[in-house]
Each structure stands twice: as C-alpha cells, then as structure tokens.
Amino acid sequence: MSKKPEWAEALDRLMSQRIEAVPEGFKTAREIGVQMGVCYEMAKIRCKDLVEAGLAERKNFRVKWGRGIRGLPHYRLVKNQARGRRPG
C-alpha cells in the first residue's frame, strides 16, 4: 500500500481540525423531517418558522460532507420558551 504524499496528509490534518462537534440536542432539518414524517423541504420551512417565533435556535456547524467540510444548519428547541420569544 502506498503512503499518502506529505501535502495530502497535511491537508487531511487541517480538514479534520475544522470539523466541529455538534452538541447534544441539535438536529439537521433532514433528521427533524424523519422524526416528524415530513419531507426535507417541509422540515426546513417548519424549522425556519420555529426560529422566527423564538421557539428554536439555528447554528451552522462544520461537518464532513462527502470528501470535504461544509457548514450545515442545525436546530435545537429553546428550553425556556418564554425566554426565547422575540418581542413582536
């Protein structure tokens, strides 16, 4: 088996350092859609509605995506819903 060139190894190390651990409670719209029994597009819309209402928060985390790294939105329900409401 041939060894990777040192440039490729350096790039692999850099990429692995950029991947972020997703904290517990955060889910992607795709995962939420599966839980709710709706398609991905509908789950994205519903997640956006919850964020706008202050009932959920959205954060982008850099995750492995194919052969690269990509910022992917994750959502989490706000624990104290009264605190999460935006003034209207």
Q: Is there a domain that residue 1 lies in?
A: no
Position 17 scores a pLDDT of 66
Under-70 pLDDT residues of the chain = 1-2, 15-17, 81-88
Q: Is there a domain that residue 40 lies in?
A: yes
Q: Is there a domain that residue 74 lies in?
A: yes
- What CATH number is attached to the domain comprising 42? 1.10.10.10
Structural domain range at position 27: 6-84
For the chain, the straight-line distance linking the first and the last C-alpha, in angstroms and rounded, comes to: 63
Position 10 scores a pLDDT of 77
Q: Could you read off the pLDDT of 63-80 as tens digits, one per residue?
A: 887 777 888 999 999 987
Total domains, the chain: 1
Position 88 scores a pLDDT of 44
